[in-house]
Amino acid sequence: MQSPTPPSTLPDSRTEPDGSAVVRVLSYNIRSLRDDTEALSRIIRACAPDVVLLQEAPRFFRWRKQLSRLARGSGLVTLAGGGTAAGPALLCSLRARVESTEDVLLPLTPGLHRRGLSTAVLRFGAARLGVVSCHLSLQKDERYAQGGMLLDKVAGLGTQYAVAGGDINERPGGRTFRLLAGELRDAWTVRPAGGEHTSTAADPRQRIDALFVTEGVEVLGCGVPDLPGVTEADLRAASDHLPVLAALRLPAAS
């Protein structure tokens, strides 16, 4: 693990002359928009993301309208997910060129919540990025099986470079977290920038939300951001989780 990077030094989004790109990726469990949506939108805007991986997005009555309202308030557009992915969703900026999207429902275990994945393939300049948002099970055996399905989906995106993440519902020492970090790279461990713990927002003591990247993606910093203009009261009011923000450098597609 490299030395921590101050969150204020996370680079802005940009495309280099050689076609490579710096992309800001945000992961956030938004608790079905049951909290202060204005505070939530302020936080997302302050993160200035190119891509947002949401968990617990609205998925029942008028969920598309609710998700669209959040996207507009955050200066973004709805990309995929929500009710069609059982909660995970994707937002993006107009900088992203969308190649494809797909929402995947994972096998249902009787008595447990339905889970899913929201996926996309995007281009930023000449850089191509696969994206997967997930919210894994609270039940340990189902969670481990879903971790394997997540890895299979990342491998099947057809992209050399990918980022996957969300609410893992498990700490880094857990079996599923270790499975993901063994096949992919835990971005916070590679280059921490900002806070580590994501849950709960009112009393953060554990890291159960994470972003993972494939080989070749350069992590410029990842962690719970310290954002100008965003107060601790905003973070507590917006959700019961804290956001995870990463800046990634993507090589140009060969």
Tens digits of per-residue pLDDT, 205-244?
Answer: 999 999 999 999 999 999 999 998 899 999 999 999 999 9
pLDDT in tens, 70-90: 999 999 999 999 999 999 999
Query: At which residue do the structure tokens 């971790």 appear?
Result: 147
Structure tokens at 226: 């310290």
pLDDT in tens, 127-140: 999 999 999 999 99
pLDDT higher than threshold 80 for residue 9? no
pTM: 0.96
* 241 strand-pairing partners: 199
Angle at the Cα of 175 (from 109 to 186), degrees rounded to 5?
110
* 210 strand-pairing partners: 166
**Whole-number average pLDDT of the chain:** 95
What's the maximum distance between 2 C-alpha atoms anywhere in the chain? 53
